[in-house]
Amino acid sequence: MPEQNQVTAQQILDALTVIIDPDLGRDIVSLGFVKEIKICGGQVGFDIELTTPACPVKDRFKKQAEEAVLAIDGVTSVNVSMTSQVRGREQVAPEELLPGVKNVIAVASGKGGVGKSTVSVNLAVALAQTGAKVGLLDADIYGPSIPMMMGTSGKPQLNSENKIIPIERFGVQIMSLGFLLPDDQAVVWRGPLVAGAVKQLLTDVDWGELDYLVVDLPPGTGDAPLTLAQTAPLTGIVIVMTPQDVALSIASKSVAMFRKLEEGLKRPMPILGIVENMAGFVCSNCGQYHEVFVGAGGAAAAERLDVPFLGAIPLDPGISASGDAGVPAIVAAPDSPQSLSFHEIAGRLAQQLSITQMPKG
């Protein structure tokens, strides 16, 4: 029997049930997030293990947990450690592609020039900045632009098993067809060639252990993005669009293509959400946000298409300038409105993945 006023682990767990994960709709105790409870007199310590280090409600959970446990009679101090264990594809067979990669996220767009590569690069760096292990595969065979945007021009080395070692930049492991092609060589790839080249990028590269591999797909709804999405073991899709795409229903075509593909594949490949790029601009004089295409919002489009809305990124000349200079906007101007948007979108994306991977019931 515990002495009077001796704090018990059960009391701590009971107190923590008031904290509900807004995305998963359950309390953090029944979700199994509370770990390593240590009690020494009135001093209490425990871990809250989240499903991603990019969790947007991390700070709120910590504060709520401290308050809830401090309110227990006999508790004098609380030490909460926020940790994370990214969940991923279940039971990856050894022969399957990318066995060490927990999540493969493809970034797609209905047409070229909407900022798909810019979003891929900045989301990859944003996820890496949370402490996650992140890779970035430039599979945009028509115009591999990731090496330029990430400021990498070297040729990757081979390891002792003759596998290509990705190039690390800004904490992200990068691989691009652009590394393997002679400079300025235009390539016309057809379906079988695309599948072969992509398989090679997935199998012949030493990706190691990754929480997230972001794949920059070729644009459009044609043969190349389709073959690629079929070849790579994708865990989810992000669709980048501009307000114009909403008006012209280009984004809907993209959504329809991936939904059809998922049906055919007979394995889950959820659309994790829509990112609206070049949505408006923040005036450098007055600091106010102005929409460019009034009435054509990404949020409304996402609702209509029944997919999550991950967020909007303003139009900003700094984004293209930093991309051209080989330093992603999120590194070049970390406190800018667009960088804050990228961080928020990365958090929502990671949450969406966690939601889709939570066992049902």
Residue labelled with tokens 């990856």: 92
> Per rule CB under 6 A, is residue 323 in the interface with ligand ADP?
yes
Specify whether the CB–CB gap between 87 and 195 falls below 8 A: no
Identify the H or E element spanning 239.
strand 236-241
Q: How far is the CB of 351 from ligand ADP (least distance, A)?
A: 23
Q: How many CB atoms lie within 10 A of CB 12?
A: 23
| Calpha distance 263→29 (Å, rounded) | 35
Residue 109 Cβ vs ligand ADP, minimum distance, rounded to whole Å: 5
Residue 222 CB, nearest approach to ligand ADP (Å)? 14
Nearest in space to 170 (alpha carbons), one of 147, 186, 193, 189: 147
**One-letter amino acid for residue 95 of the chain:** E
Asked whether position 98 contacts ligand ADP by CB under 6 A, the answer is: no
Tell me how many residues contact ligand ADP (CB under 6 A).
18
Overall size of the chain counted in residues: 361
- The least CB distance from residue 115 to ligand ADP, in Å, is 3
Q: Which of 20, 59, 32, 88 is nearest to 347 (CA)?
A: 59
Q: Which is nearer to ligand ADP, 132 or 319 (CB)?
A: 319
Look at residue 13 and give its three-state secondary structure.
helix
Nearer to ligand ADP, 114 or 137 (CB): 114
Closer to ligand ADP at the Cβ: 201 or 319? Answer: 319
Name 101's bridge partners.
Answer: 210
User: Rounded to an integer, what distance in angstroms lies between the CA atom of residue 326 and that of residue 26?
Assistant: 42
Supply the minimum distance, in Å, between the C-beta of residue 321 and ligand ADP: 8
Q: Is 112 in the site for ligand ADP (CB under 6 A)?
A: yes
Distance of CA 191 to the CA centre of its chain: 27
278 counts as binding ligand ADP under rule CB under 6 A:
yes
Contact map string, positions 125 to 154, toward ligand ADP, x by CB under 6 A: --------------------x---------
Q: Binder to ligand ADP among 51, 109, 176, 235 (CB under 6 A)?
A: 109
CA atoms within 13 A on the CB side of 101: 24
Nearest CA to 20 out of 51, 64, 54 is that of 64
Give me the least distance between CB of 331 and ligand ADP, in Å please. Answer: 14
Binds ligand ADP (CB under 6 A): choice among 126, 175, 228, 319: 319
Residue matched to tokens 């073959």: 227
User: Under the criterion CB under 6 A, does residue 221 sit at the interface with ligand ADP?
Assistant: no
- DSSP annotation of 164: B
> Residue 251 or residue 313: which is nearer to ligand ADP going by CB?
313
Mask for 20-59, x = binds ligand ADP (CB under 6 A): ----------------------------------------
Window contacting ligand ADP (CB under 6 A); options: 8-16, 81-89, 195-203, 310-318? 310-318
Q: Which of 134, 192, 360, 175 is nearest to 268 (CA)?
A: 360
Instruction: Determine the interface stretch with ligand ADP among 68-76, 105-113, 129-137, 171-179 (rule: CB under 6 A).
Output: 105-113
What angle (nearest 5°) sits at the alpha carbon of residue 144, between those of residues 353 and 319? 70
Q: Does residue 345 belong to the site contacting ligand ADP (CB under 6 A)?
A: no
Closer to ligand ADP by Cβ: residue 98 or 107: 107
User: What 3-state class would DSSP assign to 104?
Assistant: strand
Q: How far is the CB of 317 from ligand ADP (least distance, A)?
A: 6
Q: Does 251 bind ligand ADP (CB under 6 A)?
A: no
The residues that touch ligand ADP, with contacts defined as CB under 6 A, are 109, 112-118, 145, 219, 277-278, 313, 315-316, 319-320, 323
